A and B are shown apart, each in its own frame.
Chain A
Amino acid sequence: MPAFHIHVTTGAGTPIYRQIVDQVRLAVATGTLSPGEALPSVRSLAEQLVINFNTVSKAYAELVREGVLESLQGKGFFVAQKRQIYSRGERLRRLRHALDSFIHEAVFLDFSAEEIRKAVDEKLAELDWQTKPLGEQT
């Protein structure tokens, strides 16, 4: 399994805390980070990335709210067991939102529907599904 590293860039449209949230979510979704695995402490991540402590705190707090991480008093932050905190409707809404920007970009680049489908299938096949997505159980 590839080691997990967070990178941040400045001067982007995405705030630094949001970059951290996105990277942790992706790592958990693709199994780079497994349930129960510890994340770097707020202090060590802030010092490693040379960013304000509050920025890391804010990112971790959001990940806890979303159910991606859990905070164990005095021990730090860990990847939570997989569970969905959003309703099916909300999940669909978020999926469509993510699809919109992806499809617009792909169409803009002049790919055909067939080519786009093929690329999506290939990408999905690459994902190392650690567990069956909870969404498929319902």
Chain B
Amino acid sequence: MIASELSNPSEAADPRTVVIEARGLTRYFGNKCAVDSISFQVPRGSVFAFIGRNGAGKTTTIRMILGLLEPTRGSARILGQDSSALQPATRARIGYMAEGHPVYGWMRVGQYAGFQRGFYPHWNQEIFGSVIDFFGIDPRTKAGHLSHGQRAGLHLAMTLAIEPEVLMLDDPATGLDPAARRSLLEAMIYFTRNRERTIFFSTHLLDDVERVADHVAVLDYSVLRVCCSADTFRERVRRLVARFPSEPPRKLPVIPGLLRVTRSENELCLVVANLNGRTERDLEEIGALTVDEQPISLEDALIAHVGRQGDKSFFLDTAGGTQ
């Protein structure tokens, strides 16, 4: 796993620098493990992408961080408080957009403002109005008549109007058309104008991750595979192409950090994390004529981390953003 250093493991992190912290967070549903002892820290001011395919445990993790679901083991903290005992004043500093953007169909968009503001001590009607406007929504429309993208816009307006310090977005872009998806990203960038604010968003859309995220964590079948800055991730994951005079040998030397191998008639293509100078030498020792490093996209690097042999559908199905 590519991991950032956790600060002292026995003490809670400093809430001035760490906004969200998970420690050995685990959740079972019956005897099925949904989240398996994951630990990570979300730095203040970061845009943190929580990546994983459907069913990987992203929503479960978010609900535990927000104190909406009890962990089976481990704990989470947000804004310096234990998630299982969040006080209303702390909750009021967190904007949460739930998956799928459910609405009450009979309520008009304008009425939502009055409804939502009853739950929060702080409400900025101007922000609500401008986000509604940004998504091209008429406040008189009944929520049941909104498109999926407009429903996301309504949720975003309600979330941003409380002027939160932390945005928790559960799969905000799924199902949105390209224009609505871009509006969502624009709103996210706009939100981080204030560099003290933090966004934690789950997704499987890697274009979005590349654009807006500066930290990435990858959840794969309930286990955390990667957790580091987006730059570190890109720098550490490399692709090597080794050419051989004939068919490459079946048996490879032990290559530390090897994520994925594909072979063709006279080539081996390896995706390696934490590449060191030895790997090239090892490949030459088993008969490679040349070993070249090739650029790798963020998407390819992430797929190499979670894809298994014979299981290449991950992300590839969904990378286009159409579902």
Contact = CB atoms under 8 A, between A and B. Distances in A.
Q: Do A and B come from one complex?
A: yes
B297 A50 contact: no
A82 interface: no
A50 B214 contact: no
B211 A15 contact: no
Interface string A9-35: 011111110000000000000000000
Nearest to A13: B295
A47 B297 contact: no
Contacts of B231: 15, 58
Contacts of B206: 10-11
B296 to A, nearest CB: 6
Given A51-B211, A53-B195, A54-B214, A11 B189 contact: no
B103 interface: no
A53 B207 contact: no
Contact of B213 (A12, A15, A47, A52): A52
Q: Which of B186, B211, B213 has the most CB of A within 10 A?
A: B211
A51 B295 contact: no
A98 to B, nearest CB: 15
Interface string B161-201: 00000000000000000000010011001101101000000
Contacts of A58: 231
Interface in A80-106: none
A21 B319 CA distance: 26
A10 B298 CA distance: 9
Contacts of A50: 182, 185-186, 189, 211-212
A47 B186 contact: yes
A12 B195 contact: no
A117 interface: no
A11 B210 CA distance: 8
Contact of B193 (A12, A15, A43, A55): A43
B296 A10 contact: no
B263 to A, nearest CB: 21
A33 B192 CA distance: 29
Given A11-B206, A43-B193, A58-B231, A52 B211 contact: yes
B70 interface: no
Contacts of A51: 189, 211-212
Contact of A52 (B47, B297, B319): B47
B148 interface: no
B232 to A, nearest CB: 12
B284 interface: no
B182 A13 contact: no
Given A11-B299, A14-B295, A47-B186, A53 B210 contact: no
Contact of B189 (A10, A12, A47): A47
Contacts of B299: 11
A61 interface: no
Contacts of A54: 214
A46 B47 CA distance: 14
Interface of B: 47, 182, 185-186, 189-190, 192-193, 195, 206-207, 210-214, 231, 234, 294-299, 319
The 7 closest A-B pairs by CB, nearest first: A13-B295, A10-B207, A10-B210, A54-B214, A51-B211, A50-B185, A52-B214
Interface of A: 10-16, 43, 46-47, 50-55, 58
Given A52-B189, A53-B189, A53-B195, 6 more contacts: A10-B211, A11-B210, A11-B298, A13-B294, A47-B190, A52-B212
